[in-house]
Chain A
Amino acid sequence: MKGIFKVTTKTIVAAGIGAALFALLFMYVKIPSWVPETSFQTAYGLSALIGTLFGPIAAGLAAFIGHAISDAVQYGSPWWSWVIASGVASFIYGFAFKRTKVEEGVFGIKDILTFNVIQIIGNVIAWIGVAPVLDILIYAEPVELVFTQGAVAALLNSISAGVIGTLLLIAYALTRTKKGSLSKEA
């Protein structure tokens, strides 16, 4: 595991700033989907980026805090089962930390595959496992309903984390280009 769970000050700051960004994106920057009353949340693209750059703890905390705050601001109280699921999904995205070459300025086909396999596993576990089970345990919601909702969420959030996350990571890799490795054109 090469120390991906190590907590430094940077991990905490990434979690705190990440959570502020997560809450903001979660409230303001979403793309409506074809399923009524749902949308693609760009916030999961962000937590995927945080996970890949700073690890599971930073991403898990960022999504958990960010989601809880945005629920609290909008509804007065967090919907705990989904807040926890957001945290779990993003925690698992963090397993991509140190598994890609994004910090060296490369995010190629192999890295894209690694990242996306991890984020899909994360979304499946969180939305088809954790969220519905918690919904049943905490809120005694109907089983069929919560698993259907979970499956839709897993799909939408995999697309959000996959598309937005991948594009963000490619853009990030490009910012890591070494100075001095380029020549001017006439």
Chain B
Amino acid sequence: MDEQVIIEFSDFSFQYYSQAEPTLHEINLKIHRGEKVLIVGPSGSGKSTLGHCINGLIPFSYKGAITGSLTIKGEDTQKKDIYELSKWVGTVLQDSDGQFVGLTAGEDIAFALENDNIPPEVMHERVRKVAEMVEMHYLLTSSPFELSGGQKQRTSLAGVMVDDVDILLFDEPLANLDPATGKTAIEIIDDIHQNSGKTILIIEHRLEDVLHRHVDRILVMKDGRIIADRDAHTLVSSDILVETGIREPLYVTALKYAGVDVSPEISPGYITTLKAEVTQTALTEWQDKIQSPPAKPKKPIILSLEDVHFSYDGIHPILQDINFDIQEGEIVSLVGKNGAGKSTLSKLICGFEKLDRGIIRYYGEDIKDKTIKERAEIIGVVLQNPNQMISKSLIFDEIALGLRFRDVPEEEIQERVEKVLKVCGLSPFRSWPISALSYGQKKRVTIASILVLGPRILILDEPTAGQDFRHYTEIMEFLEAINQLGVTIILITHDMHLMLEYSPRAIVLAGGRIVGDTAASVVLTNDAIIEKANLKETSLFNLAQMSHIPDGTRFVQRFIDYDRSVRHQ
């Protein structure tokens, strides 16, 4: 046996008992000690299942039929239980709230030690040491409600490293983080890799964000098979990403638009390694050819906030001096880090909370006297998790609910629901139970159940959270179609792609104040705003700078315009 191979799959297949087809097909894979491997693939490709096989959740929690073999450190995992495997493989799950079981960070880090019956004194010492490695040592007594998403994730990481595992497995580590925190997370993982020499596996579909730092190999999964296994440079130079439905790095898309031959020779795997001197001319010529779309005619102002102030307790202000106007038919992103006041702002607009001061106007009229129910007929809000909105088992009933509450006659309900079903592309499923729908379809049902009330403004909280590129595109194109019908859309998000591609304008909140209200291309190229709102500058801007294009912001805007025209052809 090769000492250097730490994980080895041989003709490994797996089928969940509840599924008709195997989820993994004849996987053959060797991972070497100390390697850093990224596993990408669209949802349903089997990448999470592969992770479950490595950490032992399969077959411990999820039963199914296994053929072939999987060995870790030379031992057959079928003969090991999850507890033995957890000493070798530490798993950091994507949902840091689910993984954070302790009442404080310290307790959570100690969790595995507690289960090993380590005496409290020894435990405190080890917890403090490992917490220092991820800079959480000064927050050990903090509860999860006092910690940010990034701090919770670092707690989780410390909680698995406390066991000195050989392999660290990250299951979608970026899914719930804002761009800046995601960037830091990738840096922390890389530092651990450099300093400890542990084997690192990252399962993630956000390729560009992981490639902020070097990875040794990238595995691409599709339909339960590994269809590619190569380094970053060769991978982004190929067509595999586009074919499997994984978003390629934005700067690579820009290079391709500009007609550059993206090949391993120009080291395009990471923005930092790209040989920009080769691509400079092509990019400059390309950007000069792009026509800006004609400015849109001014439309009436549908929503305006004037001097809005709010606090929960009268002491700590949550929102201050909020002023903005939104025109009919706009798509606006509301961005800012967690706790900046985005959700509170949407609650104020919907009437869930009352303003301390200021005015909210709808077509110029103050709406302070409208009840929650009345506001819902002009402004609809869609929660992030569709499961938190769905209370009926049939699609039709779910969508009709709001109308039934309003005692609308049954024939009219029939007619209005049918119409919305059609708009939302749900007509073929009208008699299906909601549980049989995919996440994206459920999302549509919740949007439909709000649209049926005829609101002119729709506020959506992270509409594409956790979705792969295909589902993201589906949801966003659906929202664009709704927007074409005249519905004004406000997106609460920290997805930078979403901002760039779908919302021409972004309102940026930080510390309860507006720190930016301008084009997405300006926001994502402005250092001050990026810093305040925990964003990250787009790689397009880096590309422009590396190519000595003088106006980086203009380059980004040109890219957006061009990209939009390509998508709409």
- Within 133-186 of A, Cβ neighbours of B (below 8 Å) are at 171, 174-182, 184-186
B33 interface residue (CB < 8 Å to A): no
Check if A177 sits within 8 Å of B429, measured CB to CB: no
- Once A171-B393, A174-B393 are accepted as A-B contacts, the answer to whether A182 and B427 lie under 8 Å apart by CB is no
- Determine chain B's interface SS by DSSP, over half rule: mixed
Contact with A along B380-411 (1 / 0, CB 8 A): 00000000000001000000000000000000
Q: Which B residues are in CB contact (< 8 Å) with A186?
A: 428
Q: What separation, in Å, do the CA atoms of A175 and B435 have in the docked complex?
A: 5
Q: What separation, in Å, do the CA atoms of A186 and B430 have in the docked complex?
A: 10
* Shortest distance from the beta carbon of B86 to any chain A beta carbon, whole Å: 12
Interface size class of A (residues with CB under 8 A): 10 to 19
Check if A180 sits within 8 Å of B20, measured CB to CB: yes
Contact with A along B238-274 (1 / 0, CB 8 A): 0000000000000000000000000000000000000
B433 interface residue (CB < 8 Å to A): yes
Q: What separation, in Å, do the CA atoms of A179 and B20 have in the docked complex?
A: 11
Check if A185 sits within 8 Å of B428, measured CB to CB: yes
Check if B436 sits within 8 Å of A179, measured CB to CB: yes
B432 interface residue (CB < 8 Å to A): yes
Check if A176 sits within 8 Å of B427, measured CB to CB: no
Q: What separation, in Å, do the CA atoms of A186 and B433 have in the docked complex?
A: 17
- Once A176-B435, A177-B436 are accepted as A-B contacts, the answer to whether A184 and B393 lie under 8 Å apart by CB is no
Q: Which A residues are in CB contact (< 8 Å) with B430?
A: 185
* Shortest distance from the beta carbon of A83 to any chain B beta carbon, whole Å: 22
* Shortest distance from the beta carbon of A19 to any chain B beta carbon, whole Å: 15
B431 interface residue (CB < 8 Å to A): yes
Q: Which A residues are in CB contact (< 8 Å) with B433?
A: 174-175, 177
- Once A171-B393, A174-B393 are accepted as A-B contacts, the answer to whether A185 and B431 lie under 8 Å apart by CB is yes
* Shortest distance from the beta carbon of B256 to any chain A beta carbon, whole Å: 36
- Within 66-110 of A, Cβ neighbours of B (below 8 Å) are at none
Q: Which B residues are in CB contact (< 8 Å) with A177?
A: 433, 435-436
* Shortest distance from the beta carbon of A9 to any chain B beta carbon, whole Å: 9
Chain A's closest residue to B435 (CB) is: A175
Q: What separation, in Å, do the CA atoms of A177 and B437 have in the docked complex?
A: 10
Check if A184 sits within 8 Å of B436, measured CB to CB: no
Check if B428 sits within 8 Å of A184, measured CB to CB: yes
Check if B432 sits within 8 Å of A182, measured CB to CB: yes
- Within 84-137 of B, Cβ neighbours of A (below 8 Å) are at none
Chain B's closest residue to A170 (CB) is: B393
* Shortest distance from the beta carbon of B21 to any chain A beta carbon, whole Å: 10
* Shortest distance from the beta carbon of A12 to any chain B beta carbon, whole Å: 11
Q: Which A residues are in CB contact (< 8 Å) with B436?
A: 177-179, 181-182
Q: Which A residues are in CB contact (< 8 Å) with B20?
A: 180
Contact with A along B433-455 (1 / 0, CB 8 A): 10110000000000000000000
Q: What separation, in Å, do the CA atoms of A16 and B420 have in the docked complex?
A: 40
Check if B393 sits within 8 Å of A185, measured CB to CB: no
Chain B's closest residue to A105 (CB) is: B435
Chain B's closest residue to A16 (CB) is: B101
Q: What separation, in Å, do the CA atoms of A171 and B435 have in the docked complex?
A: 10
Q: Which B residues are in CB contact (< 8 Å) with A176?
A: 435
Chain B's closest residue to A9 (CB) is: B61
Q: Which B residues are in CB contact (< 8 Å) with A185?
A: 427-431
* Shortest distance from the beta carbon of A185 to any chain B beta carbon, whole Å: 5
Q: What separation, in Å, do the CA atoms of A184 and B426 have in the docked complex?
A: 10
Q: What separation, in Å, do the CA atoms of A176 and B430 have in the docked complex?
A: 18
Chain A's closest residue to B392 (CB) is: A171
Q: What separation, in Å, do the CA atoms of A174 and B392 have in the docked complex?
A: 10
Q: Which A residues are in CB contact (< 8 Å) with B428?
A: 184-186
Q: What separation, in Å, do the CA atoms of A175 and B428 have in the docked complex?
A: 19
Q: What separation, in Å, do the CA atoms of A71 and B429 have in the docked complex?
A: 46
Chain B's closest residue to A175 (CB) is: B435
* Shortest distance from the beta carbon of A168 to any chain B beta carbon, whole Å: 11
Chain A's closest residue to B438 (CB) is: A179
Q: Which A residues are in CB contact (< 8 Å) with B432?
A: 182
Chain A residues engaging chain B, CB cutoff 8 angstroms? 171, 174-182, 184-186
Having A182-B436, A186-B428, one finds 5 other A-B pairs with CB under 8 Å, namely A171-B393, A177-B435, A177-B436, A184-B429, A185-B429
Chain B residues engaging chain A, CB cutoff 8 angstroms? 20, 393, 427-433, 435-436
A-B contact pairs, 25 of them (CB 8 A): A171-B393, A174-B393, A174-B433, A174-B435, A175-B393, A175-B433, A175-B435, A176-B435, A177-B433, A177-B435, A177-B436, A178-B436, A179-B436, A180-B20, A181-B436, A182-B432, A182-B436, A184-B428, A184-B429, A185-B427, A185-B428, A185-B429, A185-B430, A185-B431, A186-B428
The 3 closest A-B pairs by CB, nearest first: A184-B428, A175-B435, A174-B393
